Structure 1
Amino acid sequence: MPILLIASTAVADPVEDITAAARATFDGMPYVRTVDRIADNCGADERVSEQVAYCTSRNLILMAKSAREQPETPYLIAHAYGHAVQVRHGVADFALGQIRRRRDEEAMLRGLVERQVDCIAGYLVARAGLAPMQLGDLVTEEPLTDIHWGRDPLRLGPALSIGLGAREDWFLIGQAGDLAACAQGEFGAELLLAALKP
């Protein structure tokens, strides 16, 4: 009697794919830790995103168990990695210096930071080999308007709205695969390009 071999296909895990892509593309990238809840980790409280947050002082992305199967979670993880790229490779320090010198323009400068983060997120989704994602297909309201990154205590991190349309636009630009297109005003792409692994 012939033996039938049935090939099993592994179920794709976009979170793991994005993590692998981020770590293969840039040095110093965090791992994702699944937690029961974001609050009470890295000084987070109820003001911090309930789904995903990046703790810069521990270089760790926190993901709530309840977020694991949500359709928007791959985007949220990629966005957190976008912040990690900026933090680990000098963009965040430069941005903070500009914000401290130009307090009257803080909202605009933070908006540029968030747009670049969404572009980096799209770039990582493309590098992970995932199908193109339309943010508007994943969410009905702008995500990440609450605190979702910062040092410990995370509850003191920045929160900002740039609009769902802007997030979607820059996420799609990144998915085209050209990191240089992620330049945002005075936050150019030079540091990002220099940080790419050979």
Structure 2
Amino acid sequence: MREREDEWTGLMRSAISGDDAAYHRLLRAVTPVLRAAARRGLTRAGQPADQSEDIVQDILLAVHLKRHTWDASAPFAPWLFAIARNKLIDALRRRGRRVFVNIDDFAETLPGEPAAETVPAGEVEAQLKSLPARQRDVLQSIAVDSASIQDTAKKFAMSEGAVRVALHRGLANLTARLRGQ
């Protein structure tokens, strides 16, 4: 392990001095190690390990772009692994935390959908009649008759924005009245 790190440090020093062959050898040497580390990190995070190649490419690109920031008097491996850790974290953040659980085994224990609460038609009509005419007409059209905003706007010669405002105000009005009961 120590020999490998010393070899990498020597190759990076040569690469910084302009030795392209040493740089290529370094990249070939670190790639399998980075690939294994990326797979381990993804697996630990509950992500599919087959996504590791994208992370490895991000790491190699960052190494190439930031190689001038490496301190030639310091070992190379800690610098490399800091970049690798940060790129793995970035990739996991972009993906978000997703945990997939197969629910087939729990199908019998999961509750079914709750029954929809029905409101008597007479009560709906009574509540709608308590609204101002424009709000009542818009709510009736959209909520009861299932018309679209566009169709409702044409029906009442209103702009779509005015229909949305009347709908919002009507719903707010109904909510306030129902909470007051």
TM (norm. structure 2) is 0.24
Higher strand residue share:
1
* Larger RCO, structures 1/2 (Cα 8 Å, 6+ apart): 1
